[in-house]
Amino acid sequence: MPRFALKIEYDGSPFAGWQRQADQPSVQGATEAALAKLEPGAHTIAAAGRTDSGVHATGQVAHCDLTRDWEPFRLSEALNYHLKPAPVAITACARVDDDWHARFSATERRYLFRLAARRAPLALDAGRMWQVRMPLDAAAMQAGADHLLGRHDFTTFRAAMCQADSPVRTLDELRIEQMPTHAGQLFHIHVRARSFLHNQVRSFVGTLERVGSGHWPPEQVKTALEARDRAACGPVCPPQGLYLAGVTYPDDPFA
């Protein structure tokens, strides 16, 4: 059966996350339903990462096995037709080898978190970024973030229900970028690693907001990390500012 890689963009607001749910809408469910319109029957697709409820994606990657050897562009166009009106789009499609796997072939995942610090409500980006009311110190946030770089036991920064075998991960990038804006402050937080623990990025961002607002000194992030205790973590921030921005493979199937 021909295997296809799909690059997927979605607004996570109306979904209970990526993973198929029995009684709630999911991105996986919407995509599999669209596939069933093209080739009747049950379909199961695998993704590079399972995003939580309310989390968005600009570069999610999944793969599917089909009976027909579709021309990739026609497959993406047909899927986009049947995905309407769900806020899900196939932005690229490629034929891949039978042993290629969206999750297990990946060597890196990249996340973007969008954070606004302003008093006025978000008229255009409500539901697509996290808003806090008080100004944030970007330099202090970066100083705190630097303590998290490298290979560590991230027990403090993973959800209690995380199913990963080990809390040890290598964090390659955690960069605070202050963006130009006409009102308040806008931050893009770039996070990059081979793999992540459940709620790890949102735990990072919630903790760094405490630093940026002056409630924590940057050195307290190091103390929290070394505690290896979930109770030492700052608040877990809400999901709406988080985007799965991209997945890296040894050979980019979409190149």
Question: Which spans in 118-228 are helix H?
Answer: 138-146, 200-212, 219-227
Instruction: Give the number of other Cβ atoms within 10 Å of residue 67's Cβ.
Output: 11
Q: 150 — alpha (psi -120 to 50), left (phi > 0) or beta? A: left
Separation between Cα atoms, residue 47 and residue 56, nearest integer Å: 14
Do 51 and 60 meet the contact criterion of CB atoms below 8 Å apart?
A: yes
Q: Taking Cα atoms as reference points, which of 244, 245, 156, 148 lies closest to residue 197?
A: 156
Q: Which of 52, 65, 125, 172 is catalytic?
A: 52
- The reply to whether 165 belongs to the active site is no
Q: Taking Cα atoms as reference points, which of 244, 5, 202, 203 lies closest to residue 108?
A: 244
Separation between Cα atoms, residue 219 and residue 207, nearest integer Å: 12
Residue 170: enclosing H or E segment and its boundaries?
Answer: strand 168-179
Backbone phi, then psi, for 197, in 5-degree steps? -90, 165
Separation between Cα atoms, residue 13 and residue 17, nearest integer Å: 9
Separation between Cα atoms, residue 121 and residue 137, nearest integer Å: 20
Active-site residues: which are they? 52
